[in-house]
């Protein structure tokens, strides 16, 4: 799981393809399930043209909103994830440094 903190202070969780597939509790047809096969989710992602989900490297990550848009209902199991600490900023903002150096 990737926990992303946006500039506006909101936080979003992105789940890898395999994590998101395990979290599905209701499939597209309204049937209760205990997860789906990850390749079924990958096929859904390809069929929607990549509109829902983010491709990062070789893996695909889905937010809760992405999964709902694809037609799935998910449930996060909080006991499965361990908080490793807060990451304040992954990509530094060099605008302040650029204005000081004139670049």
Q: What is the pLDDT of residues 11-37, one digit of tens each?
A: 888 999 999 999 999 988 888 999 999
In this structure, the strands spanning 11-16 and 24-26 are: unpaired
pTM comes to 0.68
How do residues 45-60 score in pLDDT, each as one tens digit? 999 888 999 898 888 9
Q: Which residue, among 72, 71, 56, 87, has the nearest Cα to 22 in the 3D structure? A: 72
pLDDT at 36: 93
Coil, strand or helix: which one is 33? coil
Coil, strand or helix: which one is 6? coil
Burial 50-73 (b: 16+ CB within 10 A, else e): eebbeeeeeebbbbbebbeebebb
């Amino acid at each position: 799981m990737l926990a992303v903190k946006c500039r506006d202070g909101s936080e979003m969780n992105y789940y890898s393809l395999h994590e998101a597939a395990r979290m599905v509790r209701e499939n597209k047809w309204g049937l209760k399930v205990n997860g789906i096969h990850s390749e079924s989710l990958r096929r859904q992602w390809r069929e929607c043209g990549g509109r829902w989900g983010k491709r990062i490297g070789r893996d695909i990550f889905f937010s809760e909103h992405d999964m709902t848009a694809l037609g799935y209902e998910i449930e996060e199991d909080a006991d499965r994830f361990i908080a490793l600490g807060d990451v304040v900023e992954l990509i530094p903002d060099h605008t302040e440094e650029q204005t000081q150096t004139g670049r």
